Amino acid sequence: MDQTPPYSLRTPRLLLREFTPADEDDVHVYASDDATVRYMDWGPNTREQTRIFLGEEIERASVSPRVHVGLAVQHLETGTVIGSIRLGLWPHRNADIGYSYGSAWWRQGYGYEAAHAITAHAFDALGVHRLWATCDTRNAGSYAIMEKLGMRREGTLRRNQPARDGGWRDTHVYGLLAQEWASRADAA
């Protein structure tokens, strides 16, 4: 699998690209938004937490081979970074994805568009065998994206993650195999 930086994936409306220091303001808008982070295990971010996140993403982009590919999701028409998407590369041709989009950009198809692009890249360019993703069981928007990608719910982990309210949350686990991706009509 070739994981050499830099990454740049284009869709009809988005550019998935490496983060730059100039992205700080846009990233902070979504990372500090209560609605955006409602079901995450982080946030809402302070300005310093956003700077740390951005610095870590930029640093990880310089590592080769890559095992963590964190990309800014930039809206082509406005130039705004509307979220982020991550591809984690694991042994045995396994990978996972995760994403976060500003709430102002929800329900417009951007989440699926970006997730489809990184999923296609994982299977078609990197030769991934199995792709998986997780989300809080209450995050219907996130698992709707996973299901639209063709992922299957493989199980639910009970009270496995700390919740922002101080308790514990349940997590859905979804998976997709390379042969399932290849058989999809929109994978081409």
Q: Please state the pTM of the whole predicted model.
A: 0.93
Task: Let me know if 73 is exposed, middle or buried by CB neighbors in 10 A (0-12, 13-18, 19+).
Answer: buried
Q: What's the CA gap between 109 and 9, in Å, rounded?
A: 17
pLDDT digits (tens, 9 = 90+) for 30-84: 999 999 999 998 889 999 999 999 999 999 999 888 899 999 999 999 999 999 9
Domains of the chain: 8-187 (3.40.630.30)
DSSP three-state, residue 88: strand
CA distance 142 to 133: 10
* Residue 110 CB-density burial (10 A; 0-12 exposed, 13-18 middle, 19+ buried): buried
